[in-house]
Amino acid sequence: MNDAYDKLVDVPDCEIVVISVEGAAYYLHRGEEHLNQLLLSDGDIPLPVQCLNFQSMIDVRVTLGEEVNLAQCWSIHPAIIARLRDSDSLVELDL
């Protein structure tokens, strides 16, 4: 995965970055080394988790660049995002 996100927002404290498309699909953009722990309900992960909310796949490409290919990213179940949101561990940025 690339770090086009760094060009958009400098959030050095967020080791895990998720991309949301239409509020229905979630993809792990950064932090693959934390994936197993993220999937566990009691996993020890660096918090907060950053979520970049996009209205469409086109918005993702326009904002982050052509090199971002969500088909190569891990998909994250919406229930995991809801768990992070409920525990105030998710920092969301609408783009």
Q: pLDDT tens digits, residue range 40-69? A: 877 788 889 999 999 999 999 998 888 889
Could you tell me the pLDDT band of residue 7, with boundaries at 50, 70 and 90? low
Indicate the pTM of the whole model: 0.84
DSSP code, position 33: G
In this structure, is residue 15 part of a structural domain?
no
CA–CA dist 8, 93 (Å, integer) = 11
Q: List pLDDT tens digits, range 14-49.
A: 899 999 999 999 999 999 999 999 888 777 888 899
CA–CA dist 78, 92 (Å, integer) = 14
Total domain count, the chain: 1
In this structure, is residue 9 part of a structural domain?
no
Q: Which domain covers residue 84, as residue numbers?
A: 21-94
For residues 70 and 24, the answer to whether their CB atoms sit within 8 Å is: no
